[in-house]
Amino acid sequence: MPLKITITFKLYASLAQYLPKEAVENKIDIIIPGDRSIIGVLEQQSVPLESAHLVLVNGFFIPPEKRKTSFLSDKDVLAVWPPVAGG
Amino acid sequence: MSWQRKILRVNLTKGTCEPEPLNMEWAHLFLGQRGLATKYLAEEIDPKADALSPENKLIMATGPLTGTMASTGGRYSVITKSPLTGAIACSNSGGFIGAEMKQAGWDMIIFEGKSKAPVFLYLENEKAQLMPADDLWGKSVWATDELLHEKFQDPLVKIACVGRSAENGCLYASIVNDRHRAAGRSGVGTVMASKHLKAVVIRGTVGVGNVRDPKAFFKATSEGKKTLADNAVTGEGLPAMGTQVLMNVINEVGAMPTRNMKEVQFEGAHKISGEAMAEPRESDGKPNLVTNAACFGCTIACGRISTIDPQHYSIENKPEYIGASGGLEYESAWALGSNVGIDDLDALTYANFLCNEDGYDPISFGATVSAAMELFEMGAITLETTEGLDLSFGSAEALTKAAELVATGEGFGKDLAMGSKRLCEKYGHPEISMTVKGQEFPAYDPRAIQGMGLGYATSNRGACHLRGYTVSSEVMGVPVKTDPLTTDGKPELVKAFQDATAAVDSTGLCTFTTFAWTLEDIAPQVDAACEGGWSAASMLEAGERIWNLERQFNLDAGLTKADDTLPGRLLKDAAKTGPAKGSVNRLHEMLPQYYALRGWSEEGVPTNETMGRLGL
């Protein structure tokens, strides 16, 4: 069995609807297997992948081509937005 | 063509209003609005003139698409010399008055001289008249708007005016139209008040006809609207959450200026975010956000309409603030929130209401309060200086009281009305003023978004995000993602954004369309509307021409390469947290390359070859 890790999972804007209802201020700590990719976490949380535009781990952008092969570490913060902009 | 070919020249010294033809040769070079009005200003005033003297002029200008059926075609700009920076000022606003001016038959209004007594301009199609405003002087924007609507008994007149802050000399006063849209930055309202011009009242029923190719215009604008509707940002994100969707994004990437830019992340960001504005509050079960709102002709509708918690201390016994009005945008939420360390959403909304009610820029105001709070923390100013106002970071009461004092020009409000640069100089600590060319920073820390540092340093109107919004690429990946922490490729990115934005700002369209449109989408709309054979390439060239014209104005006004810099804090003190932890802005890696790309000398002066190439 792979090690379990705890990450902070954040969903914003129109993706907030996919957060568990226990989430506070758009974030929740979740326990995941240590060998789960970012895409794997998003699928596990039922986040539509086509809407996951801005994907940040600890504030760093993860480009789409790396999301299947990028893994998370304990206490990482995964934050996801649909396409957003402002000014 | 969609220019009216007509300017109204208002001489406030003589009390005259005279029509004159628009210079069409210039229109073909500078398009309209920002570009064309800058050309007029540069030709008509001495750039060294005192911004608050009668020698300065103030131009209200529309673009060729203002007042047409193009989506967002309701913009107008105010162009003048800024009293805050001494540089060119160009401040853009939406709402409805720009379209009304165009539909009254005018492309531009040029105000010159100074009236002996307060006046306002009444413009109804051909009829233009200066009228006494003694009864309006000393009144807020909201009171003035109400009195003028009563006077003309016409709910359809559109009004732009200044509030008490401008009359009292606040150097970052804005011109507010339609009660809560504003030509907000660089003190354009201060210039208007210095001329004893209180308001501009417009009713236009002439319309905007004579588009060059109506069939092509209908096709191009319809396709443009479909693109906006189908795009996730302009079709869904902006209408739902407005610009405030950025609060949590920018905090997460560690670019949130906090407590006078000492820090780059704010622990209370979520409480003042777009997400928080939509959450029901405890007192009445209603959210802060009532609805979104659109300016003239806009199919995006990013505007926020909000209410304050009726039980909040700031509006106790003040029923006039209970109704819904213009709510927090990201820039005002940042300036009145994280940069002063305050996470009380209702206090921010109240302060924002006051910025609209009495016409002053919430960015410069918030940033000036943050500088005052740091001076207070250092002991450089005391309770004695502030007449008892406890300016501790995080104090919502201090923020709301400061907003009231700037609105009325009373007490320590006089010092706060000077802006951050002059305030910090007065109290002996110019190094803590977070400004470029005397104008306060907007909501992106350039230590975590390198391109924005170059953009701020070279912005022709001082620190500003709207001269070249590379955040779009560096953070949001629109149109393509670039790494915010590298300086590689940033001079090219900044120049491209600056030139394209200068072109868009000259059309009458809103810059937010560019989250979905490129110049390839905009050029067919402009070309179908006007003569001139407009293409994406010729628009980009016009943008570069406008940028260099503004630059030359600033150089002639006395600014130099030394003004193309950032405060030492951003160049020497590393970010303490987030992805940019340990980083400063590396402006020195970008600026020489930027000058070379622009065709400027090492001293930042456009070469003769560059000026010749651009027809300047």
Q: In angstroms, what separates the C-alpha of B49 from chain A's closest C-alpha?
A: 32
* Mean pLDDT (whole number) for B252-262: 98
Does A61 contact B481 at a Cβ distance shorter than 8 Å?
Answer: yes
Q: How confident is the model at residue B487 (pLDDT cuts 50, 70, 90)?
A: very high
Q: Write down the domain spans for chain B.
A: 6-203, 242-252+258-433, 446-613
Residue A81 pLDDT: 97
Q: Indicate which of B238, B248, B334, B459 best probes the interface with A, i.e. most A CBs within 10 Å of its own CB.
A: B248
Interface contact A66, partner B, CB < 8 A:
no
Residue A1 pLDDT: 57
CB-CB contact of B336 with B399 (8 Å): yes
Considering CB atoms only, which of A16, A82, A87 is closest to B469? A87
Q: Which residues of A touch B236 (CB under 8 A)?
A: 14, 82
Structure tokens that stand for B609 in this block: 């070859």
Q: How confident is the model at residue B225 (pLDDT cuts 50, 70, 90)?
A: very high
How would CATH label the architecture of A4-81? Answer: Roll (3.10)
Q: How confident is the model at residue B1 (pLDDT cuts 50, 70, 90)?
A: low
CATH classification code of B6-203: 3.60.9.10
Does B472 contact A85 at a Cβ distance shorter than 8 Å?
Answer: yes
pLDDT (tens digit, 9 = 90+) per residue, B571-581? 999 999 999 99
Residue B406, strand partner residues: none
Residue A2 pLDDT: 67
Q: What is the end-to-end Cα distance of chain A in Å, rounded?
A: 47
pLDDT score of B311 more than 70 = yes
Interface contact A86, partner B, CB < 8 A:
yes
* Mean pLDDT (whole number) for B232-240: 95
Element (H, E) at B435: strand B435-436
pLDDT score of B496 more than 60 = yes
Q: How far are the Cα atoms of A62, B9, B61, B484, B543 from residue B481, in angstroms, in the given order?
A: 11, 46, 34, 9, 23
* Mean pLDDT (whole number) for A4-23: 97
Interface contact B468, partner A, CB < 8 A:
no
CATH classification code of B242-252+258-433: 1.10.569.10
Q: Indicate which of B253, B452, B465 best probes the interface with A, i.e. most A CBs within 10 Å of its own CB.
A: B253
Q: How confident is the model at residue A87 (pLDDT cuts 50, 70, 90)?
A: confident
Residue B339 pLDDT: 98
Residues 6+ apart with CB under 8 A from A26: A10, A11, A12, A16, A19, B248, B270, B275
Within 10 angstroms of residue B560's Cβ, the number of other Cβ atoms is: 11
* Mean pLDDT (whole number) for B498-515: 98
Does A59 contact B242 at a Cβ distance shorter than 8 Å?
Answer: no
Interface contact B335, partner A, CB < 8 A:
no
**Residue of chain B nearest A81, judged by CA positions:** B249
Structure tokens that stand for B146 in this block: 């109400």
The mean pLDDT value of chain A amounts to 95
B156: nearest Cα among B116, B103, B197, B84: B103
Inter-chain contacts counted by CB atoms under 8 A, chains A and B? 92
Structure tokens that stand for B18 in this block: 């005279």
Residue carrying the six token digits 């990719």:
A37
Residues 6+ apart with CB under 8 A from B241: A13, A84, B274, B275, B278
Residue B2 pLDDT: 82
Does A87 contact B466 at a Cβ distance shorter than 8 Å?
Answer: yes
Q: Write down the domain spans for chain A.
A: 4-81
Interface contact A9, partner B, CB < 8 A:
no
B195: nearest Cα among B158, B164, B167: B167
Q: How confident is the model at residue B209 (pLDDT cuts 50, 70, 90)?
A: confident
Q: How confident is the model at residue B326 (pLDDT cuts 50, 70, 90)?
A: very high
Residue A86 pLDDT: 84
Percentage with pLDDT > 90 across chain B: 99
Residue B210 pLDDT: 83
pLDDT (tens digit, 9 = 90+) per residue, B25-81? 999 999 999 999 999 999 999 999 999 999 999 999 999 999 999 999 999 999 999
pLDDT (tens digit, 9 = 90+) per residue, B521-571? 999 999 999 999 999 999 999 999 999 999 999 999 999 999 999 999 999
Does B477 contact A82 at a Cβ distance shorter than 8 Å?
Answer: no
* Mean pLDDT (whole number) for B123-138: 98
Considering CB atoms only, which of B243, B477, B578 is closest to A53? B477
d(CA B309, CA B559): 46
d(CA B73, CA B536): 18
pLDDT (tens digit, 9 = 90+) per residue, A51-76? 999 999 999 999 999 999 999 999 99
Does B478 contact A63 at a Cβ distance shorter than 8 Å?
Answer: no
Considering CB atoms only, which of A63, A82, A86 is closest to B481? A63
Residue carrying the six token digits 């208002």:
B10
Fold (CATH) for B446-613: 1.10.599
